[in-house]
Amino acid sequence: MNPIPFFYQGSLIIGIPVIVILFYYSRKNRNNLFLAISLLNIWYALLINNLNQSLQILEFPYLIRTGSISVFLFFPFLYLYARGAFYPNVFFKKADLLWFLPLTIYLIDLGPFFLSDSNYKIAVFQERLKDAAFASKIGEGWIKLVGFEILLRYLSGVLFLIFQINIICKYWKTHSIQKKPENRIVFWHILILTVTYGLLVFPGIFGVLLHLSWYNISFVGINLSLSLTITAFFLLFSPRILYGFLPFSIVQGMDDLKNYRAEKPVITESTKESKNRYEDEKIAELIAKIEDYVNKNQVFLDQNYTIYSLSTDIGVPVYQLSPLINNYYDETYSTWINQFRVRYFMELCKDPLYKELTLEALAKESGFSNRTTFINSFKKITGTTPSAYLKQGLK
């Protein structure tokens, strides 16, 4: 039994949640939008490739040759993703529209074919499918140069890879930021994706020019599948890639934070004094801003208040905020925000107005969504249960 078709289908299935996750997180880290669009085009190209190989493409004549459109798109969007990761302040420039010039040429060339009758498309493409290397024999455009479309595809792919590799090498030589443990996984994700995309270009050039038998739609399908499964692997084992590179000031500050671990931070005024121990003023300012906002606005009383809500309110991107909280407090966001709620609960217990309320009611007043989370959080933070705490005389 040939396992390749199952690999295709598995990649198509896995690719859907991967792309959805990237689109979702693009709301907080806009650079994910480029990667999501790039992988969406990889997914579509794989779908068309699969239909070509199974001959089912003839049942959907309006999809014939549309896979090449995706091929012209996933390279530029990968480059924009990599550039945006290394240089967060650069998102999209007017000059970037030039990257889509090869696609424009292709659409103009194949325009008459795309607008032609379905029966004509089927008749022409049936002849192409008889040859395993049909991908190198596009001839439906009005530009009658032999192999023009394929040459255009590979030249544009090579151009993008040159820019992609250049930006990776340049950043590797001039910056040490991605070598930090916090950023290394993001760098490797970009590098491995670049290699995978490269396998769609360089072997293809030799395969087309030398008419190599191994270069066929199966080979292309395998490489397209790899791009989706690799990103799925990274998301599964290291969702850290969703946040991109941490800015230099934050990573540098984290090095100092990791060298200093006092007692688990207590939410008191003394916390402000401890901030002066850190050399990085940027970190101290962010921590002060976060704590001041949370304390003054008591946002922790909202059961649905997430790290994304805090990110929006204080104007600090999630990709900075999440690792900052994790490293400074040595806690996840959920555990960290629950410290505020536990403290608030302890204050409520001292207030005569709330003495008649049950533990569950007090927990909800403090911002906890359910009794189990409340008890577990209270015990983790204080070392005792809420009931035991009350029995000890609210000490």
Contact in structure between 266 and 291 (CB atoms under 8 Å):
no
Q: How far apart are CA 39 and CA 43, in angstroms?
A: 6
Contact in structure between 178 and 184 (CB atoms under 8 Å):
yes
pLDDT in tens, 256-311: 434 433 344 444 444 444 444 444 567 777 888 888 888 888 889 888 888 888 88
* Angle subtended at Cα 225 by Cα 221 and Cα 226, rounded to the nearest 5 degrees: 120
Dihedral pair phi/psi, residue 97, rounded to 5°? -65, -25
pLDDT in tens, 73-123: 999 999 999 888 877 667 788 889 999 999 999 999 889 889 999 998 888
pLDDT in tens, 240-257: 788 776 544 444 444 443
Catalogue all structural domains in the chain, each as residue range(s) with its CATH number: 4-243 (1.20.1070), 248-391 (1.10.10.60)
User: How would you write 95-122 as a 3-class SS string?
Assistant: HHHHHHHHHHHHHHHHHHHHCCCHHHHH
Count of H helices and E strands in the chain? 18, 0
Which residue is associated with the tokens 């949370």? 294
Q: How far apart are CA 245 and CA 81, in angstroms?
A: 12
**Higher-confidence residue: 383 or 145?**
383
The helix-helix angle for 148-174 and 101-114 (nearest 10°) equals 160
Contact in structure between 140 and 110 (CB atoms under 8 Å):
yes
* pLDDT band, residue 146 (cuts 50/70/90): low
Residue type, 249: S
Mean pLDDT over the full length of the chain: 79
